[in-house]
Chains A and B, each alone.
Chain A
Amino acid sequence: MKAKIIITPKKAVLDPQGKTVQTALEHMGYQGIGAVHVGKYLEIEVTGDLETVRKQIDEACHKFLSNPVIEDYKFQIE
């Protein structure tokens, strides 16, 4: 199985990278560009029964892979 995890900065947190990318896209002439948020994507290969894997990944995201003070996460197991 593979856990696919997406970590993004919380909306309230200043995201200078996202802002810079947004400005660059606008300068390149792309139309209708709104807020950009730059996050992280992780793929973790994992074995075990689905429920245990889900529980473990959720705990790891909360304790280690993301920082709940500044980041949100979501994941799917495939």
Chain B
Amino acid sequence: MNFAVLQFPASNCDQDAVHVLRNVLGHSARLLWHKETSLGGADAVIVPGGFSYGDYLRTGAIARFSPVMQAVQAFAANGGPVLGICNGFQILCEAGLLPGALIRNRSLQFRCEHVFLKTLTPDSAFTNQVPDGKLLRVPIAHGEGCYFADAETIATLKAQNRILWQYVDAAGQPTDAANPNGSLENIAGVCNERRNVAGLMPHPERAAEDLLGSSDGRLIFASLVHAITTKSLAQAA
């Protein structure tokens, strides 16, 4: 499988993502500079974390207009799988590929810690390999990860099972104390209506090897690989 990992000025989790895809999962992954206009036949796109364009104006606001994102828009519209991590999630929201927005953490602090994630549905290209009931222990590292969308959008996300991950405590409860940033409904990640584009604030690529204290993040990449290899994604011709 061929992964494309986007690279913007000030992306800083791009190499981590490539490392996991290549060395941990054994797939082909290449970095794609933001000025590229083609995805070069990639099977899936990872929009990695970082501080693209210095987070100027708003997180992700400038990156979404880069040439490579126009190619990502077309790829996503054609059913191609796209996963945004942290700043990548912010970029996908700004680009309109995902609903809502990520705003300043309610604590005003940059939060860098491990959290527990509950996967709400296996029905996506990003969650199909997560065992039922398993909590994922993965790190977060962000200052602007508070998920916001209007009430109507939140209701739609719920009705369509598009909230993929929630911040929960060790017992799996979405408590206020387990919410690191003030996200509505403890939302850590969502997908689009077609279920081929998803974003999450936590970093699965930083928790994909036992050496790093948790390999739970691997399940998210493994889900993506499974979806593509079994062609369960409805690709448009």
B61 within 8 A of A: yes
Q: Nearest CB to that of B109 among chain A residues? A: A16
Q: How many chain-A residues does the 8 Å CB contact rule pick out? A: 12
Q: How many chain-B residues does the 8 Å CB contact rule pick out? A: 20
In the bound complex, how far is the Cα of B108 from the Cα of A17, in angstroms? Answer: 7
CB <8 Å contact, A16 and B104? yes
A25–chain B nearest beta-carbon distance, Å: 16
B110 within 8 A of A: no
CB <8 Å contact, A67 and B148? no
In the bound complex, how far is the Cα of B58 from the Cα of A65, in angstroms? Answer: 9
In the bound complex, how far is the Cα of B191 from the Cα of A5, in angstroms? Answer: 33
CB <8 Å contact, B57 and A65? yes
Taking CB atoms, residues of chain B closer than 8 Å to A17 are 104, 108
Taking CB atoms, residues of chain A closer than 8 Å to B58 are 67
12 other contacts beyond A20-B108, A64-B57, A69-B101, with CB at 8 A cut-off? A9-B103, A13-B103, A14-B106, A14-B146, A14-B148, A16-B105, A16-B106, A16-B182, A64-B65, A67-B58, A69-B149, A70-B148
Binding site for B on A (CB under 8 A): 9, 12-14, 16-17, 20, 64-65, 67, 69-70
